[in-house]
A and B are shown apart, each in its own frame.
Chain A
């Protein structure tokens, strides 16, 4: 008789913090959304920013954000681009324009059919493996 090894289904990829992103995920674990901030321009930047694209300076530091924004755009993805998403399709990806200005890609935690361009959202936090990830719910 043929036997097969039971294999756990592959899981959705989880974020793996590195040196640049660790403070973002550490703050998320405490229920805070961090953005970068340029003191010279008094301007918020995306969490990924290492330089200010206005003054080109490097004096960019972490700062807590309001956690409020609006949905700039969104898609409902039906493709299984990674086997871990097979049980999750169709799933949403949203672009949130946060109150402070930057546009961040993330997921909406409510039902897909609630999504609309321009809807108000607020940050919420979801566990993914060992880390906590900022996501969004209706405001």
Chain B
């Protein structure tokens, strides 16, 4: 393995997260920025770049965040969008800007506040479907057949995987169980009660084959990370998380015969770039922090990064190796399934925490190579990082 860190994440700010009502996405974003600055020891005046992404909150955060945060004389600003992959890719674009002298210290922010109504039990996506004006044309055909939220697309992909490879609901359940086991020791996770495969199987169906416990949470909150050059870390307050490698991948989806997008995602493209940059194989990776909007997303991402063969994800996960004490610690903060759902910031923030060794009761002993992935759309957009406590 040969590498030099490309950049360093030197500040992490996580706002209050979860079912916190009555606050705007901007309010969460400003709190996350403030906490990231505090964590890094940097002054606001030292930040010269701002990359941001809004979730589905309307109104959400936008380019006006620069002025709301009182950030003056920036050299890099953009409102970015590769859906759920964006937080991970923001770190990549920040790194590229820093490496090319465009900026020295870039703050990357994601915020969302989809839960606005106390007592509402429905997801933001469901609310969007309800509040949407009566669609016409092809969109009205989608509404008529009952395809009203993102669950359908992921459940279809999981069903296809099951049919092709014999993957079972219990195997998906093993991912829900191991992910929850990690959440138990994450103080800011929304769920702290361990679950069993039986609990998973008994949870109500959402979109078969998905049970409730196959699906991620919905959360309000924001996360900010501060990216700077690897040489600038010496005088800072917190231990850095070094970015050793970074990659993206997009297979495209033709939605016609022969397309394998549902079970061979953009991760199959990103993998070669990512591993190739530093000459590693999956066996070298200590921890995985994977975008887990559904249990299936974890499973297919593990396959696509070569931790097991294509189609072998079910048997691979069913022995519990992803959980605490297991051979491949995965989603060590509880992921989007059990901790909080702030898109790609969920795996990214936990990757930073593990790289720094600040995971407390859930800290994984060996944390030299951490795979962090972001995923967006219906497995359409993918970005990944290798983080480490070591710069080289």
Binding site for B on A (CB under 8 A): 12-21, 46-48, 53, 72-79, 81-82, 85, 88, 90-91, 93, 95, 97, 101-103, 105-107, 116-118, 128, 133
With contact pairs A101-B257, A102-B256, A117-B159 given, residues A75 and B207 touching in the complex (Cβ less than 8 Å): yes
B139-171 contacts to A, CB under 8 A, are 140-149, 151-152, 155-157, 159-160, 162-163
- 4 new A-B contacts at CB < 8 Å, known A18-B137, A21-B141, A81-B148: A18-B136, A75-B208, A78-B205, A103-B257
Interface hub of A75, A82, A88 (most chain B Cβ within 10 A): A75
Interface hub of A15, A74, A90 (most chain B Cβ within 10 A): A15
With contact pairs A16-B140, A75-B152 given, residues A88 and B146 touching in the complex (Cβ less than 8 Å): yes
Count, chain B residues at interface, CB 8 A: 40
B126 within 8 A of A: yes
Residues of the A chain whose Cβ atoms lie less than 8 Å from the Cβ of B134: 13, 16
With contact pairs A78-B207, A117-B163 given, residues A15 and B140 touching in the complex (Cβ less than 8 Å): yes
Q: Indicate if the CB atoms of A15 and B146 lie closer than 8 Å.
A: no
Q: Which residue of chain B has its CB nearest to the CB of A134?
A: B141
With contact pairs A20-B138, A73-B262 given, residues A79 and B147 touching in the complex (Cβ less than 8 Å): no
Interface hub of A17, A79, A118, A128 (most chain B Cβ within 10 A): A79
Residues of the A chain whose Cβ atoms lie less than 8 Å from the Cβ of B141: 15, 21, 133
Shortest beta-carbon contacts, A-B, top 10: A81-B148, A117-B163, A18-B137, A76-B208, A13-B143, A73-B156, A16-B136, A75-B155, A73-B160, A78-B205
- Of B146, B204, B256, which is within 8 A of A93 by CB? B146
Q: Indicate if the CB atoms of B149 and A79 lie closer than 8 Å.
A: yes
Q: Indicate if the CB atoms of A105 and B205 lie closer than 8 Å.
A: no
Residues of the B chain whose Cβ atoms lie less than 8 Å from the Cβ of A93: 145-147, 152, 156
